[in-house]
Structure 1
Amino acid sequence: MTSNDLVVVLPGITGSTLGVRGDDGSPASEHLIWAPSGGAVWKLLTGGQSILDKALPEGIGDGHPDDGVEPVGLMPDVHVLPGIWTPVRGYDVLIGALEQQGYQQGGADRPASLIAFAYDWRLSNRYNGERLGTVVEPALEQLRARGGAYADAKVVFVCHSMGGLVARWYIEKCGGAEVTRKLITLGTPWRGATDALEQLVNGVKKGIGPLSVDLTDFSRSMPSLFQLLPEFACISNAGDWAKTTEVPVPNVSTAMVADAMAFHTDLQAAEAARPESHTMTHMVVGIRQPSQTTVTFQDGRAITSTTFGSDDDYGDGTVPLTGAVGLGEALDTNLAVRVPEQHTNLQCNQFVLDQVQEILSAQPVRRREITDTSLRATVPDLVTDGRPLEVAFDLESDVPGADPPHKAVTVTVRTARGKVLAAAEPTLRAGHGRASFADLPAGTHTVTIGGSGPDSTVRPVTSTTLVWPEPTR
């Protein structure tokens, strides 16, 4: 069942394909510079048409560089820029689920009730928030023109990761509140993520690990990546915790750090001044996955930790829970739906898709029971071809203080297209298991850790890893 509203899907950082319009006027879709079909990301990083050639000029701020780059569509499959954010599965599952509910992308004879909003994720979220209005508002007017039940249509945003920041800026700072009915965020870093701080400070340089390309200058040119910096105090400082604007942050632009903090504080002030921000918002957050939360600066490098002192709030493996919960709410807020899942897979998780359907239709959807055993999984983002992929996980019971349950668990590695490459059923010791996979082919693969058999009560989690080919010499 559909609502009569316009549903707009926003992907996260790196989640839109990018192209450059041809000199002969041919469309950008024919000259893609960011679209790792089949996970062949290295071809786009090292080939003749490389996204790395499109680093932004210094001082770009909230502007556009006029470099010919245009957003084309949403990523359909696994995508990753190594060391910049985290590998993410594509958005075809989410779009397909919405289409099955009856939402339709526009055609020659019908207005759209579903928009997949692609954007240039290099640019400031302020810029993309303003651009969002130029796409959404005309489409909404066309839908309303159908009359009847559509006359009072509004917009519902379904946003993964950084897409939620773009939508929030449009809603709160660009007049979008007047036309928005609901905001659904999936793993959005409402208050930022410590991973972004580590990535910007340490850089992603050629010769580090398996990389044969240098992504540092490209990553540090992106206002969007700075706007993923944590707003919360997470930097160890003389026995206390400091924000990024309260202590020197090595290796990066002080002005861009300050502007990123202003981005967050401006949004928070606007939301605090508008009570409807609370009533329209649905936060879906990943939980129970080891997540980098705090950082210590040592000799110009960022050393991360999963804890605040003795406290471990976990998160979705990329966004810690402290960063995932917004609107000034406590971590136990009733505005958040909690899902034991990794950031990479939240937009594909069936329980999350059920939640989205329920929020859209205002009808309860009860298709499966919530099982009783959760997983915490650690899967590396990147390994070198020829080296084993090491996966570690822990089982925990939903009953506080209970011993780890004795369950059979299977770890399965699949290609981005779903073909099974390898599977293992590790022996568990005190609820902890490890699996090692050798001789995996180069490419982007999904790793699912879950119970064995259809009647298992272990909640599966899915992550993504990139097997990088050995550089040719």
Structure 2
Amino acid sequence: MNYATGRSANPDDASPASGNVTQDAVVVVPGIMGSELLDTATGRLVWGLSGTRWLVSAWTSRDGLAALRMTDDELEGRVGRIVPTQLLRHSAWTPYLRGFEPYTELAATMRRCVPDPASVLEFPYDWRLPVAVNGRRLAAAARAHLMSWRGHPAHDAARRLRRDAAPARLVFVSHSMGGLVTQAALDPLHDSDLAADTRAVLTLGTPFYGAVAAASILNSGRGAPVPLPHGKLRDLCATMPGLHDLLPQYACLLDRGEARRLTPGDVAGIGGDPDLARLAADDAAKRIAIALPGHHAFIGTSQETTQSLSIDNGTVHAHCHTARRHSDGSFIRRGDGQLATFDCEGDGTVSTESASLDSVTTPLPLQHGAVAADRFALRAVEELVRRDRHFGPPMGGAGCGLSTPDLAEAGTPWTMTISGLASPSGVTCRIDAVDGTALPPARLSLHNRRLTATARVDEPGLYRVTVHSRDRNRVSQMVLVTPPGQAAPEGLEDRSAGV
């Protein structure tokens, strides 16, 4: 079944109906850069191709990814040149946001929770466009999907095995920006009954209040040279509404001893579009007032994450700490009256406080791009989708944090840091090419109570660093390795994970 903006799952992956499946209609909504995009003028995919050779070429060649730039027609709302085809099926990478795992495992997990694959809708969307635009499209697609599933023969058979035998409702499973799109879809102006027809919204690493990484992307290259991939991303995002929708919408700017929100003027000064910033702030204020039925947030933790910023002559300096407020709304201050700051960590991209819309959360020691593919996260999501009631999954172990560069050069050593562990005993660190080539395990050493490892990769490509801790938790991150001379121009500061 194929609606205007959504695709159904593969029926070959169906599992037999049983009493341990939900009668509800499931909608999987990916994050930014989580949908394949097709250029209708050329008939070619412009994002989401398989193979790391394409990925390296796209980010290191001058004309790579040019088709993703917003045109004047698109900025005026005349869209259709670029269309989404399906959820990301192959590992991908981008500066600052770093690695994205494909959604194949998440979609397959959802198909195991239902009596028939027809009850799962995968919703790809053009993530370059405003969240509000994609929210309207999701509202229409979700309504059509629910009505179609309620008329399916397998629906009534599944209902009879549930506690209340009620007709299907919607369950949204949304990663990253997908949670914002879902929240926008539940605006009663689109469909006044959609919220009532929704049983649960499960979000994974959604930046409800934005991410400082978005400001860093817009500012990349201001005041210092940057590698070609970082500059290319900046140029792509400078007029991209979807990226502006991810700007932080909280008091993130540390300015003369105080904390305040970014203004459209601030955004213009760091390289963004003030009109898009103003629209993004207005839409965010409307979205945050929209309640998410049965909301449960899965939040990546224990990772070094930028949470605030300062601006010096147009240059953004991102910080891994943030101001916090008392229950009365006033900022917490030290004994001398100065603003106190706290490291609340996060998933490497989204801080824990931005991902926490309410108190119903499950913290998991995972990186942002992997939170929708990790086996512990998928098991917890599966449990909530299957159950008639939300009992909440058991918490995992303490886990660990992983900090890597997002970009490295072939043949040049680079260093990674593993936090949250006091000893290398029982810890393993693997580096594998996404195409399947395994490298020797990295040797860990303890310096100043922090575990570090130095790696060198001789062939360009996309590589996955995976750390297993003694408590059987796993955290992973991707690093793009480019040909020599393309990763770190002279004068570039170290841009480890969390920038």
The two structures have a TM-score, normalised by structure 2, of 0.80
**Residue of structure 2 in register with 1:266 after alignment:** 286
318, 343, 356: which one pairs with 1:304? 318
Q: Partners in 2 of 1:206 and 1:51 — Cα distance?
A: 23
- 231, 236, 258: which is aligned to 1:218? 236
Describe how 1:308-457 pairs up with structure 2 within 5 A.
308=322, 309-326=340-357, 329=358, 333=359, 335-362=360-387, 370-371=396-397, 373-396=398-421, 404=422, 407-429=425-447, 431-451=449-469, 456-457=470-471
**SS at 1:184's partner residue?**
strand
Name stretches of at least 5 consecutive residues in structure 2 with no aligned partner.
Answer: 1-19, 160-165, 323-339, 487-499
Whether contact under 8 Å (1:161, 1:189) holds in the other structure is yes
C-alpha distance 10-440 of structure 1, shift in aligned 2 (>3 A): farther
Classify 1:172/1:407 alpha carbon distance in 2 versus 1 (closer, same or farther; 3 Å): farther
Question: How far apart, CA to CA, are the structure 1 residues paired with 2:230 and 2:179?
Answer: 32
Structure 1 residues 51, 424: CA separation in 2 closer, same or farther (over 3 Å shift)?
Answer: closer
Question: Contact 1:61/1:124 (CA < 8 Å) preserved in 2?
Answer: no
1:21 corresponds in structure 2 to: 40
Contact 1:385 1:441 in 2 (8 A): yes
What amino acid is the match of 2:203? T
Residue 181 (str. 1) matches residue 212 (str. 2)? no
| AA of the residue aligned to 1:120 | D
Identity value in percent: 26
Q: Hey, what does 1:80 align to over in structure 2?
A: 93
Give the Cα–Cα distance (whole angstroms) in 1 for the partners of residues 105 and 451 of structure 2: 29
* TM-fit CA distance, 1:10: 1.0
Say yes or no: does 1:98 pair with 2:110.
Answer: yes
Change (3 A) 1:59 1:367: closer
Q: 1:324 to 1:440 in 2, by over 3 A?
A: farther
Please point out which of 248, 252, 256 is paired with 1:238: 256
State the shift of 1:194 in Å.
Answer: 0.7
> Deviation at 1:138?
1.7
Look up the equivalent residue of 2:438 and give its one-letter code: V
Q: Deviations over 1:30-68 (max 9, x none)?
A: x211123123313345779953233113595683434x2
Secondary structure of the corresponding residue to residue 90 of structure 2? coil
Which of residues 96, 118, 124 is equivalent to 2:130?
Answer: 124
SS of the residue 1:135 aligns to: helix
The question of 1:2 aligning with 2:2 is answered no
Counterpart residue type for residue 284 of structure 2: H
- In structure 1, distance between residues paired with 2:424 and 2:224: 44
Q: For the structure 1 residues 291 and 62, does the alpha-carbon distance in structure 2 shift closer, same or farther, using more than 3 Å as the test?
A: farther
Query: What is residue 7 of structure 2 aligned with on the other side?
Result: none
Q: Deviations over 1:277-296 (max 9, x none)?
A: 3x510100011111001101
Alpha-carbon distance, 1:230 to partner: 0.7
Give the number of aligned pairs: 434
Give the match for residue 17 of structure 2.
none
- In structure 2, relative to structure 1, the CA distance for the partners of 1:162 and 1:62 (3 Å cut) is farther
CA RMSD, 1 decimal? 2.9
What one-letter code is carried by the residue in structure 2 that aligns with 1:55? R
The structural deviation recorded for 1:223 is 0.5
Offset of residue 336 of structure 1: 0.7
> Partners in 2 of 1:2 and 1:44 — Cα distance?
42
The whole-number CA distance in structure 1 between the counterparts of 2:227 and 2:23 is 50
Number of the residue aligned with 2:13: none
Alpha-carbon spacing, 1:22–1:412, altered in 2? closer, same or farther (3 Å):
same
Of stretches 42-51 and 285-294 in structure 1, the one that deviates more from structure 2 is 42-51
Measure the CA separation in 2 of the matches of 1:2 and 1:281: 20
- From the superposition, tell whether residues 409 and 237 of structure 1 become closer, same or farther in structure 2 (CA, over 3 Å): same
Distance in structure 2 (CA, Å) of the matches to 1:172 and 1:115: 20
SS of residue matched to 1:198: helix
Equivalent-residue separation in structure 1 for 2:476 and 2:392 (angstroms): 22
Cα deviation, 1:283-314, whole Å, max 9, x if unaligned, reads: 00011111001101012110001012541100
Q: Which runs of 5+ in 1 are unaligned?
A: 106-111, 272-276, 397-403
